[in-house]
Amino acid sequence: MRLALLSTLLLASSIALAAPAVQGAAQPEPLTPEAAAVKQAIQSKFPGAVVGMVSKAPYLDLYEVQFDDRLVYTDAKATYVILGSIYDANTKQNLTEVRVRQLNRVAWDSLPMNLAFVRVKGDGSRKLAIFSDADCPFCKQLEKEMKGLDNVTIYTFLFPISELHPDAPRKSAIIWCSADKVTAWNEFFDSGKLPDNKGDCATPIKETAALGHRLRVTATPTLMFADGTLIPGAMPLARLEDEINKGEAEAKKLAAVKK
């Protein structure tokens, strides 16, 4: 009864954010004794629930709990469970969203880059991975914004969503089978022109679909930054630059911690 009630609340809460555990995700830190006690209390009160990471939040004396596929909050005795987002009133920053992004990170080195085609702009020193659909209007919007990027290597995974764009798998195959995938991709988004081939070569589209499923990619474009942060949706150039730079800085911090 308790589990059913909480599950209903989780589904009904439109502002609770997903924090799925995915293959390739960075390994969580060991539980502290206090966090382990909270996890045990939650599990005892909601038997059968999938309880993942538990850690002390840096505010309000709360604990963060991955409950099924959601991030919720509770007290040290698990007496109360809070659904929804916590905001910093001074900065207006959604602290829950920031934390979910951290928990959702995927190890960059776990990506099978042989499934992507590569574009190098400038010195290519920064990195960005994109799951993209040839017929996705938001992907087209993102491509326009990315024309202003420099000094970045872009790994593009062809991720046609046939339920929304029935012809996207065919177009993706034709682009992949081109002798120059980068030019074919750019020309298609600039003018709608496809290369002159049948799209009957071996493509990684099925493997990329499986990869996206493992990473819980459900929309295009979905962007992955150097620190493993996944963000769905197109964004303007200024924000894109900001997210790339934040990802690079955070990746350096994570690498330093591992040493």
Model pLDDT, residue 86: 93
Residues facing residue 119 across a β-bridge: 154
Q: Which amino acid is at 71?
A: L
Q: Which CATH class is domain 108-258?
A: alpha beta
**SS3 of residue 109 by DSSP:** helix
| pLDDT band at residue 26 using 50, 70 and 90 as cut-offs | low
pLDDT at position 8 over 50: no
Q: Which of 62, 56, 59, 66 is nearest to 22 (CA)?
A: 66
Q: Residue 12: is it exposed, middle or buried by C-beta count within 10 angstroms (0-12/13-18/19+)? A: exposed
pLDDT at position 21 over 50: no
- Omega prior to 221 cis, within 30 of 0: yes
CATH fold of 2-103 reads Nuclear Transport Factor 2; Chain: A, (3.10.450)
Question: Which phi-psi region, left, alpha or beta, contains residue 204 (left: φ > 0; alpha: ψ -120 to 50)?
Answer: alpha
Model pLDDT, residue 23: 47
**What is the model's pTM?**
0.77
Which stretch of DSSP H or E encloses residue 137? helix 137-146
Model pLDDT, residue 69: 62
The tokens describing 215, both together, are 């990473």
pLDDT at position 7 over 60: no
**Which range is least confidently modeled, 86-100, 104-118, 227-241?**
86-100
**SS3 of residue 29 by DSSP:** coil
How big is the CA angle at 152 (ends 147 and 158), to the nearest 5 degrees? 70
The domain spans of the chain are 2-103, 108-258
Q: Which amino acid is at 175?
A: I
Q: Which amino acid is at 43?
A: Q
How far is 94 from 224, CA to CA, in rounded Å? Answer: 20
pLDDT at position 71 over 70: yes
| CA 72, 246, 242, 107 torsion-angle sign | negative
> Would strands 70-74 and 51-56 be described as parallel, antiparallel, or unpaired?
unpaired
How far is 57 from 37, CA to CA, in rounded Å? Answer: 15
| pLDDT band at residue 243 using 50, 70 and 90 as cut-offs | very high
